[in-house]
Every structure is written in C-alpha cells, then in structure tokens.
Structure 1
Amino acid sequence: MLGSLSPMDVRSPHREDFRAELRVLELGALSVWPASYQALTFDRSPRLVREADPETCHVLLVLSGEAEASWGKSRVGYGRYDLLTTVSSAPARVRTEPAEVGGLVRSVGVEVPRSAIPLPAGQVDRVVGRCLSGRDGPGALLALTLTQLARRNSAYRAADVPRLELVLVDLLTALFAHACDAESAQPAEDRKRVLRLRIRAFIRQNLADPELGPALVASAHHISVRYLHRLFEDEPETVADSIRRQRLAGARRDLSDPALAAVSVQDIAARWGFRHHAAFTRAFRGAFGTSPSGHRRTAPVLAAARG
C-alpha cells in the first residue's frame, strides 16, 4: 500500500494480529485501491511532506466503518459513502474505525496526479478538509464507478485502461468543480470554467485524431479560435502545446510498455495523432532528450533499476 501512496506512517492497535486486504489497480497515471482493514491511523506528517511530495491527490470512499481526518486543529468526520480528499503537499492524519467491534473498515481509494486534474490548484485545495457526498450528484457517479472497479469479477482489458483513466479524471474533476460551485458567486466565470473543462475532456478523448488542433476544438464547441485562445490565456500552456504534450506523454507510455514491444514506433506515433514519423521523432527528442527508439531500448532497463 505504501508503495502506491505518498509516504506515511501507519499505526494500528492490532499490531500482533492485524488483518487487512488490499489490491491496487493501475489505470494509467491513476491508482485505484480497494481495501478492507482493521482500525488504522494514517499519518502524513510535515516531515514526510518535506522529504517527498509526489504532488498527488487522494480521494477515499468509505464503504463501511467511519473515518476522522485532521489538518492541524481542524477535524472532519466521515461515514458510509462519504468522500475524503487529501493532497500529498499538506500534512494530514486520518483515523479509521470499523462499524462494529471485530469488524473491518472497507474503502476504495483513488490516487491521481494533481497535474491530471484540469482545475486550478487552488480549487483542488479548497476541497481538502470537506466531507463530500458519494450518495448524490457527481459524488454518486464517482462512488458507483469506484465500487464497480473494486469488484473482483470486474473484467477489463488492457485496451480499456486509457478509457477508464479518462472517465475517472472526468468524474474527479466534476466532483471538485461541483463542490467549488456551491461557494462560487460568479456565474459568468463558472460558465467559462465549465467550458474549459469540456474542452480539456474533448482534447483528451480525441488525441488520436491527427486533425485535432485549435481550429477543430473551437469548431466542436461553437466558438471562434480567438475566443478559444482567450479562454486559456491565463493557463501555463496554449491549447496546441497541451495537445502536443499529452500526445507525447501517451506515446512515451506506449513505448515503455513491454506488451506493445511488437508495435512499431511509427504505428504508436500514429495512434497518438502524429502523421509524420520525422516530425514525431523531432518532437519526442525535444521533449525527452532522446529518440523514440532510444527510449524504447532504455525503458526496460530504467524500470528494472527502479524496481
């Protein structure tokens, strides 16, 4: 468990006969971890934050039992089908208890890089320390998806992973945005934010289309290219830069995947919307400092070294 999450101290009053079960489902950049366990306290101290911050966000769905999270002097309680959010950059302590003596806490957690959530960092931080409902609204959709993924008999193929990753990112984004909407008093800005969310989702879902670019994005959302650029003028990257970065990141993941070793570099490039092999090679080298073929040769070595 600690290998998939931010570093933390874990304690239990049942040290001698501790019972727990955990599975980790890797969905691209996301991890989903169904778990059942006796009473536990997870402590991410200021020291651990200073030592390592993977810049991730964690959402925990409580299925049975209860939890209490504390951030300094602030404490929040969570019950069945509540959603608890923490971020790796902030110290937090989470204490869990089963619903009955001798029972187990059951939960499903999801860990996502903060960079994958297409919201300003401040909005994600505003959700930390709040009890979000997994019984209605976007939270219910997220809870339903997480519980379905947690079932042992859920059968997913490797080809489903990118789609499931996109679904979870969209649901998490909708949950956070919905939570922030409740305290927002700027309808015009809300409409712009929702439009930006839709545009980001559209881009993620159409990266394989070689025609994807600012003109196509603007046309699909019935706005001008000029207005599209205005929507993203305060963002750290342009729409075109975002498309290129995500395509290159996807191609890099595929080139690192041993299961795709028989797929040619040119075919992988095409899968991510690159028409011309030479242009793909130049872009890849510019982003990662090596050629696609060079990365494919060294990826297994680097993975073995990390393992």
Structure 2
Amino acid sequence: MPTRHRLAYWRAALSQTFAPVAIDIPDEVCSGTIRTSRLGHLRVATVDGDPMSARRTPQLIAQDEEEHLVVKLLVRGVAGVLQDAREAHLHPGQIVFCDTARPLRMEFPQPFQTKSLVVPRRLLGLEESDLRRLTATPLHPDTTAGSLLAPFLTQLVDTAATYPSATGEALARHVVDLLTVLIEERLHQQAGDAPSAARLLLARIQVFIDRHLADPDLTPEAIARAHQISVRYLHKLFQTENVTVSRWIQRRRLQECRRDLARRQAAGRTIAAVARQWGFTSPAHFSRVFRDVYGMSPVEWRDSAARAPRVAGVPAP
C-alpha cells in the first residue's frame, strides 16, 4: 500500500477482524499481516505487525451490535493492555482477555505476533461483574489454565481453516465449553473462599435485575421478595461487588441508556423517552446522574456519538 493509505487500510483490517478501533502507527511502519478464519460462531486470527497502539473508545463501542470477548495470546514481542482501570504488561506465552464492550487500549512498542480467539459474549453466559474481573489480568503459562489454553489456542488458530464447516461448528461448541470451564475456574480462584452458593445466587439476582431494568418499581425490597431472601442478606451479597444494590441498578440503567443514545437509529427519540424506557421516572434526575458518571450530559453524549466517523471498511450495523 502507498504510505498515505497504510494507516486507514490497517485500521480497517483490524476493525473487521476484531471490532472497530482507532490506531496510531509510526510513519516508518511498513508491514503487517492478518490471517483469519471462521470456526462456527467464533473467529480466530494471527496478527503480525510493527509497533502500534489500538484503542476502543465509547464512540466506537456504540457502533457495535455484537459484543465479543477476545482471548489473546502474545507469541512474540511485548504488549501493554489497559482496561477496567487495570494495566497488564504481557510477555511471550501470556494470555489476556479483552472485552470489546468497554473502553480498551493496547500498546505494542516493538514488532509483535498475537494469536486470538474472538467469542461472542452471549455464548459464554458471563455476568458483567465476572467479565470485569477477567480483563487485563495476564494468564501465565505456568498456571493450570495457562498451560492448557496456550498450546490449545495456538493449534486452534493455526488449523481452523482446514476444518469442514460441520466439523468447525461442532469444534466451536466444544471450544466455548472448555473456555467457560477455564474462566469459571479462574474466577473461583480469584474469589478465594467466597461460598459458591452465594456467588450463584448473586449471578441469578443480577440477571433478574437486567430483565427488569425497565420497571421503575425495581427496588431492593422487590428483588429480595422475588428471591425469598431478606433485604439485609441481599445487601450482603452485593458487598462483594463493592456497590450497593440501588447503585448497581442505576449503573446498569445508565449503561443501557448510554448505548441507546449513541445509536444513530435512536436519533429521533427524546432523551426523556430513552430514560423512561430504562426505568428512570425523572428526566432531571437522569440527566444529573448521567453527568455525574460520564462527565457530560445525555445531549452532549448523543451529539458526540453522532459526530463520530464510521471506521473505513467496516459495515454500519
């Protein structure tokens, strides 16, 4: 590619393989290769590149209908990954989980190679809180999960293109099952001695909350009653999330409102209508808490998302 076209071409190629990204590359960067294949509902990729950095911004995230978890193995070079207020420094053989649904930054200060598995989040059935505990936390090759996943991921990425369609779909189901087991084991280790029954109950309650976000009468009392537990015990369960039940509900409502406001097809709806859809009864209260959390008003957020350019080569959702 001519020098003047390299940045846009490389950005489009990365965006089509993983998710829309903004990238920075030095002027002297001249080479990069992506080899990618489908495996059922999954996608695998090997990326060889020169020094670069890539960012997932809120504006780019708002363009996506599908959310993915990327399992990335660093084969060569070094890398820095920043997500969910954590920063990981990767060396060859280490694996990191990246969630495309939240802001992300990756830095490759020298030539590198990665092998990646791109999995739709919905196939894993993980809660938002679990995903936040996974990201930007390196999986080392000397751990049980790392010693299993690194060679398996390498073989899977290198051979995915050779399987017939039916074999690939069957293999993809087994890959998701294996990945779910390894992730649950990792989360269990991070949780320490937390009782498994309490974790399962908390997960069920969080799913219940997501299903009833639009209900303005969704309160801790109503949630406790629906699960036949006391309000006091409900609050104790959420202590592991370092947030109150009411704040959890508000945060999830704000996340859904923010996503809706950034979608171009929702441009004709009023701010109050979007807020009301997700359980906010007072437009003034919604605007105030939105600004407190995101640092701008709902109108400013929608306007900034509307001005964000599409990524070249990536179809509009």
Distance 1:192 1:18, change over 3 A: same
Deviation at 1:191, TM superposition (A): 10
1:132 and 1:179 in contact (8 A); partners too: no
Unaligned runs of 5+ in 2: 1-13, 202-314
Q: How does 1:177-192 map to 2 (within 5 A)?
A: 177-184=184-191, 185-189=193-197
Q: How does 1:175-254 map to 2 (within 5 A)?
A: 175-184=182-191, 185-189=193-197
Moved more, 174-183 or 149-158: 149-158
Please tell me whether residue 141 in structure 1 is matched to residue 148 in structure 2. Answer: yes
Please tell me whether residue 158 in structure 1 is matched to residue 165 in structure 2. Answer: yes
Please tell me whether residue 28 in structure 1 is matched to residue 40 in structure 2. Answer: yes
Match of 2:49 in 1: 37
Distance 1:142 1:26, change over 3 A: same
Q: What is the TM-score with the length of structure 1 in the denominator?
A: 0.55
Q: In structure 2, how many angstroms separate the alpha carbons of the residues matched to 1:180 and 1:152? A: 29
Q: In structure 2, how many angstroms separate the alpha carbons of the residues matched to 1:187 and 1:146? A: 31
2:41 and 2:169 in contact (8 A); partners too: no
Q: Which amino acid aligns with 1:186?
A: A
Q: Which amino acid aligns with 2:107?
A: R
RMSD, matched Cα: 2.9
Unaligned runs of 5+ in 1: 99-103, 194-304
Q: In structure 2, how many angstroms separate the alpha carbons of the residues matched to 1:125 and 1:35? A: 25
Deviation at 1:46, TM superposition (A): 2.2
Which structure 1 residue ranges, 4+ long, deviate > 4 Å from structure 2? 190-193
Distance 1:93 1:188, change over 3 A: closer
Match of 1:18 in 2: 30
Please tell me whether residue 128 in structure 1 is matched to residue 111 in structure 2. Answer: no
Match of 2:17 in 1: 4
**CA deviation string 1:177-199 (max 9, x = no partner):** 12211122234438979xxxxxx
1:141 and 1:171 in contact (8 A); partners too: no
Higher fraction of helix: 2
1:36 and 1:107 in contact (8 A); partners too: yes
Q: In structure 2, how many angstroms separate the alpha carbons of the residues matched to 1:46 and 1:151? A: 32
Match of 2:104 in 1: 92
2:116 and 2:157 in contact (8 A); partners too: no
Q: In structure 1, how many angstroms separate the alpha carbons of the residues matched to 2:101 and 2:161? A: 33
SS at match of 1:132: coil
Q: In structure 2, how many angstroms separate the alpha carbons of the residues matched to 1:190 and 1:35? A: 41
Identity %: 23
Q: In structure 2, how many angstroms separate the alpha carbons of the residues matched to 1:3 and 1:143? A: 24
Match of 1:168 in 2: 175
Match of 1:79 in 2: 91
Match of 1:49 in 2: 61
Q: In structure 1, how many angstroms separate the alpha carbons of the residues matched to 2:160 and 2:58? A: 39
Deviation at 1:3, TM superposition (A): 0.9
Q: Which has the higher contact order (CA 8 A, sep 6+)?
A: 2
Distance 1:48 1:30, change over 3 A: same
Q: Which amino acid aligns with 1:119?
A: L
Q: In structure 2, how many angstroms separate the alpha carbons of the residues matched to 1:51 and 1:153? A: 28
Q: In structure 2, how many angstroms separate the alpha carbons of the residues matched to 1:132 and 1:49? A: 25
SS at match of 2:133: helix
Distance 1:150 1:88, change over 3 A: closer
Q: What is the TM-score with the length of structure 2 in the denominator?
A: 0.54
Please tell me whether residue 67 in structure 1 is matched to residue 75 in structure 2. Answer: no
SS at match of 1:107: strand
Deviation at 1:56, TM superposition (A): 1.2
SS at match of 1:51: coil
Q: In structure 1, how many angstroms separate the alpha carbons of the residues matched to 2:84 and 2:22? A: 16
2:97 and 2:137 in contact (8 A); partners too: yes
Q: Which amino acid aligns with 1:4?
A: T
1:142 and 1:171 in contact (8 A); partners too: no
SS at match of 1:139: helix
Please tell me whether residue 113 in structure 1 is matched to residue 120 in structure 2. Answer: yes
Deviation at 1:29, TM superposition (A): 1.3
